[in-house]
Amino acid sequence: MTESKVSRPIGELPHEPHYEVRIASQSYSNIATVLAGFAFAAVVLVVQTNLPTSPNADLFRDWATIYFLLAFVGCVISALTFATVTGEEILTPRSHTMALLGGIGFSISANLVILGLATLIKIFLTLRICAFVQLVFPLIMSLSPLFVAFSAFDPIIGFEAKSITKKDVAQVFVPSFAPLLIIVPIRYLGVSFSIALSETLFSAILSIAFVLIVLSAGSALVVSSFADLRFRLNLLVSGVCVGIHSFVIGLFILMLQ
């Protein structure tokens, strides 16, 4: 006679009231889905639209199409990743780690949407609007890693009941923003990739971005299978991961035409 398994009640890990990443991930998943729909619609519209006779309009249209296509795929993947975080039965440090890793791919995908918009503006709108884009968009894109970097502190605050020290902040934010602290000032000094250089580096940069999107989702799913519910990334490792993503964002900024 086989003995039936008795299910045990699921208890919450003790933690301080802080940030409920499972609830937040529902909104992130919805946002990623909306952006995916927008990116797909943009591809259809761009392909069907008659282009003005402006210089390099065909090339910019091709670039914008690829940006939006890659953003569509990345946003769909990100929506599924955040849905996995939402499905966590209890709140754990592992949940926060999954959100941090998934957030890297989502941030890259969202910035691809911004890059695609900037490219379309270059084709269809006036030089005055293009100048405004060159002024504002690099700043918007450089702020996006903030939303990922802060996730590194959530497991410590909520589950370890420790104060965040200056050393902790430095371990996360120095590697996270080192690439942008170099690239963004250079961009505002008027330095960017020429059209010829952007065309040469286009495939390499977009391939790196796609690989990071896949690795972001894949690593989050791997972490979701860990039996250790208290698993979290070391702060320095978190900073390095965000820093690699920031470097790609910096390359996007230099590709703004």
How far apart CA 94 and CA 35 sit, in angstroms, is: 26
State pLDDT tens for residues 20-55: 999 999 999 999 999 999 999 988 888 777 777 677
Angle at 26 between CA 247 and CA 215, to 5 degrees: 35
The pLDDT of residue 9:
62
How far apart CA 156 and CA 139 sit, in angstroms, is: 29
State pLDDT tens for residues 117-133: 999 888 888 888 888 98
How far apart CA 180 and CA 191 sit, in angstroms, is: 14
Q: Output the pTM of the full model.
A: 0.92
Of the candidates 160, 165, 163, 142, the residue with the CA atom closest to the CA atom of residue 242: 142
Asked whether residue 249 carries a pLDDT value surpassing 60, the answer given is yes
Eight-state DSSP code of residue 60: H
CA separation, residue 70 to residues 171, 178, 257 (Å):
31, 26, 19
Amino acid at 159: F
Q: What are the structure tokens assigned to 225, written together?
A: 């299978």
The pLDDT of residue 1:
44
